[in-house]
């Protein structure tokens, strides 16, 4: 991010070291600065200023006074990056991180373990609101909702992640990488990973000729699945994992089964009904244990589907929203799912088998929408769950051309969502509701479900 993209900090203070800034040379990395911490910014850090330059500070909270060590500080750069290594004036919501490596210079997996869960949600709400204000011109009050306990949430924000990829260091130890670093921090535990991920046993072993491990824990009471990614051109040396299924990902992306099964099962409760899905390998699935049901209920609430309607599920993944919508519109309706990732398409075909009013296109969303008005004519409902980069103008234009009565946009990046909301506004669709969910506790990530309707329908839809 550039300096102009960030809100201004509240204070400017002196450096703690004795040498002046003009003598820092081409790189200030390692220099310690005493800073007054300003507002939170998108990306898991807060904004401060030092002698006119923006400093993005991790491991800090707005309003704190800290000593921050510069981690990236080129002389001509418009901003620097830093870690708060000492807290001189702590915020009331500061807590001790639950993980021993969720600290400056160590694991980069978590951004906000030093704040209470309630404060974390408040910080994320500020970010979502700021992005909508800056990129879409909307002034909204945003609340980030916790995942309900009955849906799999926990008040402490731990043990939620059912899919974790661990890197392997030079000594064969699994871990996670440091923030903006290739260095691997070995782990004995990962407190945000679900019990099943840790119970697989991968963190207690050493791995030879292995680049990474993908570990998935399903919700069907089956064993966790460990997918081994060998180093290029090498044969992996693997320990035995009696409590897990194990597969090796070949160079062509297919899986070689070593033990157990090459998939995990997922069960999702939606509207009093349980749906079942089979997800191959460590294929795409929402990572929070309660995300699938939480988002499905939110999408249904946004779309309010009626029997007999035609729905379009874009970036359909393993077919979660497709299955939910198929039951909502009934056999007299129709749902078309569009997904380009080959493994996800295979999963969707299995899970959607038997739903005769469901179609599946294994193509890029952009390509399908390019001819959608000729091929599809129109759609009553659209749900889209694009990657972090968002949908983009071409996809928004293609959706608007189908003239749906309502669109549900599921977004994991508030900046991409805000940009696309502005694109929708250009095509006559306005934001008629927004819910944000804390589906990534301890990190800066947040999931949103936006409801978009034609401008002329907005007053009636809001009534």
Convert the pLDDT of each residue in 64-103 to its tens digit: 999 999 999 998 899 999 999 999 999 999 999 999 999 9
pLDDT class of 9 with cuts at 50, 70, 90: very low
Give the count of domains, the chain. Answer: 3
Residues 368 and 237 in one domain: no
Q: What is the pLDDT of residues 105-122, one digit of tens each?
A: 999 999 999 999 999 999
Q: Which of 71, 92, 113 is the last residue of a domain?
A: 92
Task: Verify that 322 and 450 share a domain, yes or no.
Answer: yes
What the block records as the tokens of 315 is 């970036």
What phi-psi label fits residue 112: left (phi over 0), alpha (psi between -120 and 50 degrees) or beta? alpha
pLDDT at 458: 82
In a domain, 151, yes or no: no
Do 72 and 169 lie in a common domain? no
Same domain, 296 and 393: yes
Q: Are residues 299 and 342 in the same domain?
A: yes
Domain assignment present for residue 105? The answer is no
In this structure, is residue 435 part of a structural domain? yes
Rounded CA-CA distance 61/342 in Å is 42
The pLDDT of 272-285, averaged and rounded, is: 91
Is 140 among the domain residues? no
Q: What does the pLDDT look like over 14-65, one tens digit per residue?
A: 333 333 344 445 789 999 999 999 999 999 999 999 999 999 999 999 999 9
259 and 304 assigned to the same domain: no
349 within a domain of the structure (yes/no): yes
* Measured CA distances, 365 to 119, 371, 386 (Å): 37, 11, 9
- Which residue, among 347, 301, 340, has the nearest Cα to 320 in the 3D structure? 347
Q: Over range 179-193, report the average pLDDT.
A: 97
Q: Which of 92, 112, 140 is the last residue of a domain?
A: 92
Tell me, yes or no, whether 380 lies in a domain. yes
Within 90-143, strands assigned E span: none
Check residue 459 and give its pLDDT.
66
Across 402-424, average pLDDT:
98
Domain stop point among 92, 125, 142: 92
Q: Which of 1-15, 119-133, 400-414 has the lowest mean pLDDT?
A: 1-15
| Residue 170, in any domain of the structure | yes
pLDDT tens per residue, range 368-383: 999 887 877 889 999 9
Residues 36 and 170 in one domain: no
- Residues acting as catalytic residues: 412
The pLDDT value given to residue 61: 98
CATH number at residue 428: 3.40.50.150
pLDDT of residue 312 exceeding 60, the answer is yes
For residues 120-141, give the mean pLDDT. Answer: 98
Structural domain of 373: 288-462
Does 134 reside within a domain? no
Mean pLDDT of the chain: 92
> pLDDT value at position 282?
73
CA distances from 390 to 93, 130, 385 (A): 32, 17, 8
What DSSP state is assigned to residue 107? B
Q: What pLDDT sits at residue 429? A: 98
Does residue 306 share a domain with residue 260? no
- Measure the CA–CA gap between 144 and 155, rounded to whole angstroms: 14
Question: Domain check: are 210 and 297 in the same one?
Answer: no
Q: Average pLDDT in the 417-427 region? A: 98
Pair 440, 345 in one domain: yes
């Amino acid at each position: 991010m550039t300096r102009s993209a960030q809100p201004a900090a509240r204070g400017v203070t002196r450096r703690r070291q004795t040498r002046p800034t003009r003598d820092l040379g081409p790189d200030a990395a390692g220099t310690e600065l005493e800073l007054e911490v300003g507002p939170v910014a998108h990306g898991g850090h807060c904004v401060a200023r030092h002698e006119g330059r923006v400093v993005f500070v991790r491991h800090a909270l707005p309003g704190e006074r800290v000593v921050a060590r510069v981690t990236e500080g080129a002389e001509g750069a418009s901003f620097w990056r830093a870690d708060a290594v000492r807290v001189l004036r702590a915020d009331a919501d500061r807590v001790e991180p639950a993980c021993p490596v969720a600290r400056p210079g160590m694991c980069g997996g978590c951004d906000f373990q030093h704040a209470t869960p309630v404060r974390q949600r408040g910080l994320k709400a500020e970010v979502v609101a700021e992005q909508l204000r800056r990129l879409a011109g909307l002034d909204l009050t945003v609340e980030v909702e916790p995942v309900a306990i009955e849906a799999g949430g926990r008040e402490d924000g731990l043990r939620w992640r059912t899919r974790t990829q661990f890197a392997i260091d030079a000594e064969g130890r699994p871990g996670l990488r440091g923030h903006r670093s290739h260095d691997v921090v070995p782990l004995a535990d990962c407190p945000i990973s679900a019990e099943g991920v840790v119970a697989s046993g991968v963190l207690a072993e050493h791995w030879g000729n292995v680049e990474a491990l993908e570990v998935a824990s399903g919700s069907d009471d089956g064993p966790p699945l460990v997918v081994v990614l060998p180093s290029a051109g090498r044969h992996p040396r693997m320990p035995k994992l009696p409590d897990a299924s194990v597969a090796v990902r070949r160079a062509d992306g297919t899986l070689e089964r070593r033990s157990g099964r090459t998939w995990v099962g997922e069960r999702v409760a939606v509207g009093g009904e349980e749906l079942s899905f089979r997800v191959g390998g460590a294929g795409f699935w929402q990572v929070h244990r309660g995300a699938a049901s939480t988002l499905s209920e939110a999408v249904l609430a946004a779309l309010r589907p009626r029997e007999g309607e035609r729905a379009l599920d874009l970036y359909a993944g393993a077919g979660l929203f497709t299955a939910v919508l198929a039951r909502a519109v009934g056999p007299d309706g129709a749902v078309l799912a569009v997904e380009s990732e080959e493994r996800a398409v295979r999963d969707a075909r299995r899970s959607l088998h038997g739903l005769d009013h469901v179609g599946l296109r294994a193509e890029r969303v952009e390509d399908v929408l390019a001819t959608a008005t000729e091929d599809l004519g129109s759609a009553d409902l659209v749900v889209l769950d694009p990657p972090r980069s968002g949908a983009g103008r071409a996809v928004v234009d293609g959706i608007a051309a189908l003239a749906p009565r309502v669109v549900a946009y599921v977004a994991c990046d508030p900046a991409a969502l805000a940009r696309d909301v502005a694109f929708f506004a250009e095509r006559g669709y306005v934001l008629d509701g927004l819910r944000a969910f804390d589906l990534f506790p301890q990190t800066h990530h947040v999931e949103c479900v936006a409801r978009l309707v034609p401008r002329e329908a907005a007053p009636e839809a809001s009534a």
